[in-house]
């Protein structure tokens, strides 16, 4: 095939992969002057109508999708007895190649990769397409560590009858779901089972079920319990073990019911892992406030190598101690002022949305001291990661602001973060958790939470902020109409 030109524009350059049914070549699109991957069906199948329909179905399935975590299909065609499809050329190894090279992955890297795969699978499922052959061989690694699902050759449209023969089940037996192994109906949960096997293999270097032949392996998927992950890799976090065991449940109803649901579970585990950071200590240094009518609860926080805790209402660490009055109860506020929470502004509310004007949905404001701010998490539990300039002292502060349907409030001022500098580098990578009660968002369905980081310094007897940077922690719903109007003024 090398040297052949298909459809007058696709030049076949060299073979880069393939299997029993098709061969994949690197090619060049002379019209658009770019490299492409050309998948050519083996000519021995060109008179097999089932094989031809299957090949065309793969092209239709892949062509109907457009996602960063799916290999895109550009074109499909036939030239004489040659059936071919033209795809995005991904210069990189497969995930299987990576597993063979590394042996096993760490928990964080495994989760980060799995989240991308979930995104691609979720997009396919939204299109009504079940992949049915999720395995490391069908996940390509693009430059920049972008992972892409490919090979929808046996994908299944729920509204289209599957191309199978009695007693024959398509897919790769080591990654079969129990329902595939038994030849019963597949669903989106079937792909998630296969992804669970992929995660198991990434973390341990081996698949959960193996055997002398395909039948014995298939039976293990149906009947045998999943071998203990911790016995193979004791460093796997317990929360991640739970996610994988749920994905590998024998009963599809007991698994995650969508790739998005599994992705969210993985994100929670990732946030939990990153929360324990040996280089960060976080505690509150707000001055003591006294009140006889409504004293706040005292929360204790101890920062150490094993855990990091944020304190929202007061703190004690060593000789430092403080109290603060709690925020007003949202339910009580709404009872006292029925307009609050309904989108109407009470007469005494101060409108202050200056910072909202500067914050689009993907807001990040950097400075000479803080950069590359990233936020993960939701519902009052976040992990903030950033680079901090080593010119600073080994500490900085942050404030939390909340804008809801009534006003902009500074809800958590002066929280103190201590970090360990990376020696001989200009920047240190810092991660720290941010937590606050969900009540701080009040009862509104619309609202936004912002974090502002800075360092405080005494200059000529006055405390001055330097290096202010900010990021959105969470955006709930849409900005209310009256607030959008203020932001435009």
The distance from CA 261 to its chain's CA centroid, rounded to whole angstroms, is: 11
417 or 287: whose pLDDT is higher?
417
CA distance 325 to 393: 30
Query: Do 471 and 341 belong together in one domain?
Result: yes
pLDDT surpassing 60 at residue 317: no
CATH code of the domain in which 333 resides: 2.60.40
Query: Do 73 and 106 belong together in one domain?
Result: no
Question: Which is nearest to 287 in space by CA: 260, 247, 314, 309?
Answer: 314
Query: Do 84 and 100 belong together in one domain?
Result: no
Residue 26, annotated as binding a ligand? no
Q: Which residue has the tokens 């307009």?
A: 339
238 or 346: whose pLDDT is higher?
238
325 or 481: whose pLDDT is higher?
481
CA distance 10 to 36: 8
What is the structure's pLDDT at 116?
92
CATH code of the domain in which 141 resides: 1.10.510.10
R_g of the chain computed on alpha carbons: 28
**β pairing state of 408-419 and 395-403:** antiparallel
pLDDT surpassing 60 at residue 14: yes
8: left (phi > 0), else alpha (psi -120 to 50), else beta?
Answer: left
Residue that terminates a domain, selected from 48, 67, 88: 88
Query: Do 225 and 126 belong together in one domain?
Result: yes
The encoded tokens of residue 15 equal 């073979």
What is the structure's pLDDT at 484?
54
Query: Do 465 and 442 belong together in one domain?
Result: yes
327 band by pLDDT with thresholds 50, 70 and 90: very low
Q: Are 85 and 59 in contact (CB under 8 A)?
A: yes
* Rounded mean pLDDT, 218-234: 93
What is the structure's pLDDT at 67?
86
154 or 179: whose pLDDT is higher?
179
Query: Do 114 and 221 belong together in one domain?
Result: yes
Question: Which is nearest to 427 in space by CA: 383, 476, 392, 466?
Answer: 392
* Rounded mean pLDDT, 305-314: 29
Residue that terminates a domain, selected from 275, 297, 313: 275
What is the structure's pLDDT at 280?
53
What is the structure's pLDDT at 66?
82
197 or 367: whose pLDDT is higher?
197
pLDDT surpassing 80 at residue 231: yes
382 band by pLDDT with thresholds 50, 70 and 90: confident
What is the structure's pLDDT at 288?
36
Question: Which is nearest to 163 in space by CA: 259, 68, 53?
Answer: 53
What is the structure's pLDDT at 439?
64
Query: Do 22 and 147 belong together in one domain?
Result: no
CA distance 71 to 124: 11
Q: Are 151 and 157 in contact (CB under 8 A)?
A: no
Name, of 196-200, 318-322, 331-335, 368-372, the range with top average pLDDT: 196-200
Q: Note down the domain range covering 270.
A: 95-275
pLDDT surpassing 60 at residue 302: no
Burial (CB count within 10 angstroms: exposed 0-12, middle 13-18, buried 19+), residue 143? exposed
SS3 readout for the chain = CCCCEECCCEEEEEEEEECCCEEEEEEEECCCCEEEEEEEECHHHCCCHHHHHHHHHHHHHHHCCCCCCECCEEEEEEECCEEEEEEECCCCCEHHHHHHHHCCCCHHHHHHHHHHHHHHHHHHHHCCCECCCCCHHHEEEECCCEEEECCCCCCECCCCCCCCCCCCCCCCHHHCCHHHHCCCCCCHHHHHHHHHHHHHHHHHCCCCCCCCCHHHHHHHHHHCCCCCCCCCCCCCCHHHHHHHHHHCCCCHHHCCCCHHHHHHHHHHHHHHHHHCCCCEEEEECCCCCCCCCCCCCCCCCCCCCCCCCCCCCCEEECCEEECCCCCCCHHHHHHHCCCCCCCCCCCCCCCCCHHHHCCCCCCEECCCCEEEEEEEEECCEEEEEEEEECCCCCEEEEEEEEECCCCEEEEEEEEEEEECCCCCCCEEEEEEEEECCHHHHCCCCCEEEEEEEEEEEEECCEEEEEEEEEEEEEEECCCCHHHHHHHHC
pLDDT surpassing 60 at residue 379: yes
The distance from CA 363 to its chain's CA centroid, rounded to whole angstroms, is: 18
Identify whether 241 is part of a domain: yes
Q: Which of these is catalytic: 50, 75, 133, 151?
A: 133
Beta-bridge partners for 459: 462
Q: Are 135 and 96 in contact (CB under 8 A)?
A: yes
- Percent of the chain's residues with pLDDT above 90: 30
279 band by pLDDT with thresholds 50, 70 and 90: very low
Name, of 167-176, 420-429, 454-463, 472-481, the range with top average pLDDT: 420-429
Identify whether 318 is part of a domain: no
pLDDT surpassing 90 at residue 169: no
Query: Do 80 and 113 belong together in one domain?
Result: no
pLDDT tens column, 106-140:
999 999 999 999 999 999 998 888 888 899 999 99
pLDDT surpassing 80 at residue 470: yes
pLDDT tens column, 178-200:
998 888 888 999 999 999 999 99
What is the structure's pLDDT at 64?
79
What is the structure's pLDDT at 21?
76
Beta-bridge partners for 22: 41
pTM of the full predicted structure?
0.57
What is the structure's pLDDT at 304?
34
Query: Do 81 and 100 belong together in one domain?
Result: no
Question: Which is nearest to 191 in space by CA: 206, 207, 204, 177?
Answer: 177
Question: Which is nearest to 115 in space by CA: 273, 287, 3?
Answer: 273
278 or 224: whose pLDDT is higher?
224
Instruction: Among 37-41, 79-83, 404-408, name the one with the lowest average pLDDT.
Output: 404-408
What is the structure's pLDDT at 337?
38
CA distance 57 to 6: 20
Query: Do 100 and 55 belong together in one domain?
Result: no
Query: Do 76 and 221 belong together in one domain?
Result: no
Identify whether 196 is part of a domain: yes
Greatest Cα pair distance in the chain: 90
Instruction: Among 154-158, 198-202, 260-264, 300-304, name the one with the lowest average pLDDT.
Output: 300-304
pLDDT tens column, 29-80:
999 999 999 988 887 777 778 778 878 877 777 777 888 899 888 888 888 8
323 band by pLDDT with thresholds 50, 70 and 90: very low
153 band by pLDDT with thresholds 50, 70 and 90: low
- In the chain, the number of structural domains is 3
Active-site annotation holds for 133: yes
Identify whether 295 is part of a domain: no
The mean of the pLDDT values for the chain is 75
Identify whether 229 is part of a domain: yes
Identify whether 306 is part of a domain: no
Identify whether 372 is part of a domain: yes
What is the structure's pLDDT at 478?
59
Question: Which is nearest to 419 in space by CA: 451, 399, 393?
Answer: 393
Identify whether 302 is part of a domain: no
What is the structure's pLDDT at 445?
59
Query: Do 101 and 80 belong together in one domain?
Result: no
Residue that terminates a domain, selected from 65, 88, 111: 88
Burial (CB count within 10 angstroms: exposed 0-12, middle 13-18, buried 19+), residue 101? exposed
Close Cβ partners of 284 (under 8 Å, ≥ 6 residues apart): 301, 310, 311, 312, 314, 315, 322, 414, 415, 416
242 band by pLDDT with thresholds 50, 70 and 90: very high
């Amino acid at each position: 095939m090398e040297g052949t030109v298909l459809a007058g524009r696709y030049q076949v350059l060299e073979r880069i992969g393939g299997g029993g049914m098709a061969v994949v070549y690197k090619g060049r699109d002379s019209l658009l002057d770019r490299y492409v991957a050309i998948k050519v069906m083996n000519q021995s199948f060109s008179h097999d109508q089932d094989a031809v329909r299957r090949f065309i179905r793969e092209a239709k399935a892949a062509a109907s999708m457009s996602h960063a975590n799916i290999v895109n299909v550009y074109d499909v065609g036939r030239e004489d007895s040659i059936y071919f499809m033209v795809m995005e050329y991904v210069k990189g190894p497969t995930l299987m190649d990576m597993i063979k090279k590394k042996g096993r992955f760490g928990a964080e890297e495994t989760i980060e990769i799995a989240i991308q795969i979930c995104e691609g699978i979720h997009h396919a499922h939204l299109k009504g397409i079940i992949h049915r052959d999720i395995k490391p061989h069908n996940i390509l690694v693009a430059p920049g560590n972008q992972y892409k699902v490919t090979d929808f050759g046996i994908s299944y449209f729920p509204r289209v009858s599957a191309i199978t023969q009695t007693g024959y089940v398509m897919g790769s037996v080591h990654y079969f779901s129990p329902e595939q192994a038994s030849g019963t109906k597949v669903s989106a949960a079937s792909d998630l089972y296969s992804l669970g096997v992929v995660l198991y293999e990434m973390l341990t270097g081996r698949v959960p079920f193996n055997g002398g032949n395909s039948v014995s392996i298939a039976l293990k998927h149906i009947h045998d319990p999943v071998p203990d992950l911790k016995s193979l890799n004791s460093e796997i976090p317990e929360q991640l073990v739970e996610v994988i065991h749920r994905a590998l449940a024998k009963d599809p109803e007991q698994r995650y019911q969508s790739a998005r649901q599994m992705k969210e579970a993985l994100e929670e585990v990732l946030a939990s892992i990153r929360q324990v950071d040996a280089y960060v200590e976080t505690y509150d240094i707000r001055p003591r406030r006294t009140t006889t009518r409504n004293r706040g609860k005292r929360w204790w926080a101890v920062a150490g190598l094993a855990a990091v805790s944020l304190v929202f209402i007061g703190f004690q660490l060593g000789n430092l101690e403080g109290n603060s009055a709690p925020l007003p109860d949202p339910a009580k506020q709404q009872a006292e002022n029925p307009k609050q929470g309904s989108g109407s502004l009470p007469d005494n509310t101060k409108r202050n949305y200056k910072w909202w004007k500067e914050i689009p949905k993907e807001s990040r404001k950097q400075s000479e001291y803080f950069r590359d701010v990233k936020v993960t998490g939701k519902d009052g539990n976040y992990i903030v990661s950033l680079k901090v300039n080593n010119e600073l002292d080994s500490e900085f502060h942050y404030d939390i602001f909340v804008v809801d349907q009534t006003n902009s409030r500074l809800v958590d001022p002066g929280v103190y973060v201590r970090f360990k500098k990376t020696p001989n580098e200009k920047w240190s990578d810092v991660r720290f958790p941010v937590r606050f009660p969900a009540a701080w968002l009040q009862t509104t369905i619309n609202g936004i939470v912002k974090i502002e980081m800075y360092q405080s310094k005494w200059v000529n007897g006055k405390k001055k902020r330097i290096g202010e940077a900010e990021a959105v922690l969470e955006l709930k719903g849409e900005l209310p109409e009256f607030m959008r109007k203020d932001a435009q003024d």
